Amino acid sequence: MPNTAQHAPPLTAATMPRAFYRLAVGDALSTYGSQLDLVALSLFAYQASGNALGTAGYLILRLAGGFGGGLVAGSLVARLDRRRLMTGCALAQALALVVVALAPAPARIPVLYPLALVLGGAAAVSAVAFRTSIPEMVGAQRRARANSLLATGRSTAMVLGFASAGVLVAWAGFRAALLTDAASFVVFAAVVLRLPLPTRAERPGDAGDTGDAGKTSGRRRNGAAGRWQALAVLRAAPVVGAMVAIRLVDAFGSAAHNISLPVFANHSSPGNPAAVLGMFWATWAVGNLGAQQLVSRVLLRRGIEPGERAFALGTCLMSSCFILVFTGLPTPLFLLVAIGAGLGDGFTEISYTTRIQSLADEHRGQAFGLLATAESVGMGSGMLLSAALLAVFSPLTVVGVSHAVPIGLALCFLLLVTRARRR
């Protein structure tokens, strides 16, 4: 593949390569498809199995696939061509969705469950490869702006995906929804395959590397080194390890509020719980989009790059607002804290992604792989435990305890980081 990136005009810190905007659109489309299939396949599993255990089994297997994908993603990103890796993962997800969509009724559950592992694992590996490659695609000084742009597209796609999934399934059926999702992954794969941007830092002996891995002996790592690389990353960057730990307990809290929201909506508005859920997530999305604008239009223009302290403050804001959501506030205050939850969520994502991307190229993949694994563990365990606790305790109690832990850890982290900077 020709190295077209070397002949591109010079870029300033405020501009992006044009090809990256195409990639951002493709990423938003695949995110839309992911939200579409999350809703469609959950309903599909429920109808095919005839009980809620069918949906729970699908979600748990998908999280298990994400856990496994996170474990191997760092090694794959270090050893293989990242462009082809992202393309292959997108096509694997598209193929899995087509197989489920075309499967005859008696074979739907036996086909769906193994493919849930494929969907979760491929999504995790693709996300790690993508995040790891961003500093090489746009330049280290533009990575925060790139993360903000991507987060804006993903937030918009998430809202559209959740909003249209029920309508599309009701109007055209599960098969049309799944095939639409598969098409979004094919589009993303085509965009990545033709991407004229580097995906890997150049190393001695590379001839204009634009992501073609495996050409130098430095990329051929033995199995023992690959297994211990993640621990080496944490030892070299303990701050990143602390952020990964906070994200693990934060994912547990996210599972708690996601499971508790339908229960809360039914209690607060028995006649129309869907309206409460829709209002909350739409308002949350407004706050999430506001975070991207705050980063790109205020902080970055002043030369401030979100990092460890922004991550800690964003975590505290997000978790505090999610607790307040369940306190039975009047509608205006309910919408205000929903905006705060979205604002903190978006700000936190940009901050930790940008911070991890400051690591050297050879360590980035392992760090993002650890992050994906930690989030899968937190989300999976949170779903199982929160569902059991809701049979005994109120949604406010479950969410309050689950989100109090990340608040405490984030405050300790903020104190340690502030002291370290003063020294």
The strand ranges marked E within 60-132 are none
1-220 classified as CATH 3.90.1170.50: no
Please tell me the predicted confidence (pLDDT) of residue 41: 79
Q: Which residues of 147-184 are buried (b: 16+ CB within 10 A; e: fewer)?
A: bbbbbbbbbbbbbbbbbbbeebbeeeebbebbbbbbeb
Average pLDDT of span 9-17: 57
Asked if the model's pLDDT at residue 261 lies above 80, the reply is yes
Q: How many CB atoms lie within 10 A of CB 414?
A: 18
**Quick check: 349 and 29 in contact, CB under 8 A?**
no
- Dump pLDDT digits (tens) for 88-131: 999 999 999 999 888 887 777 788 888 889 999 999 999 999 99
Of 190, 148, 193, whose CA–CA distance to 297 is shortest? 148
Residue 8, phi-psi category: left (phi > 0), alpha (psi -120 to 50), beta (remainder): beta
Average pLDDT of span 316-330: 93
To 5 degrees, how large is the angle CA 304–CA 306–CA 308? 125
> Cα–Cα distances in Å, from 273 out to 166, 265, 397?
15, 5, 20
| Residue for token pair 């856990």 | 67
- Dump pLDDT digits (tens) for 59-69: 888 888 998 99
> Cα–Cα distances in Å, from 85 out to 118, 125, 128?
14, 8, 10
Q: Which CATH class is domain 225-423?
A: mainly alpha
Please tell me the predicted confidence (pLDDT) of residue 11: 45
Choice among 50-54, 149-153, 166-170, 259-263 with the minimum mean pLDDT: 50-54
pTM of the model: 0.79
For the ranges 5-19, 26-40, 247-261, 295-309, the one whose mean pLDDT is highest? 247-261
DSSP labels, 386-421: HHHHTTTS-HHHHHHHHHHHHHHHHHHHHHHHHHHH
Tokens of 184: 């979004």
Domain spans in the chain, listed from the N-terminal domain onward: 1-220, 225-423
DSSP letter for 329, please: -
Asked if the model's pLDDT at residue 81 lies above 70, the reply is yes
* 225-423 matches 1-220 in CATH topology: yes
What mean pLDDT value characterizes the chain?
Answer: 81
Average pLDDT of span 76-93: 92
Please tell me the predicted confidence (pLDDT) of residue 212: 43
Choice among 20-24, 75-79, 98-102, 275-279 with the minimum mean pLDDT: 275-279
Please tell me the predicted confidence (pLDDT) of residue 56: 73
Which residues are CB-neighbours of 300 under 8 A, at least 6 positions away?
14, 144, 145, 148
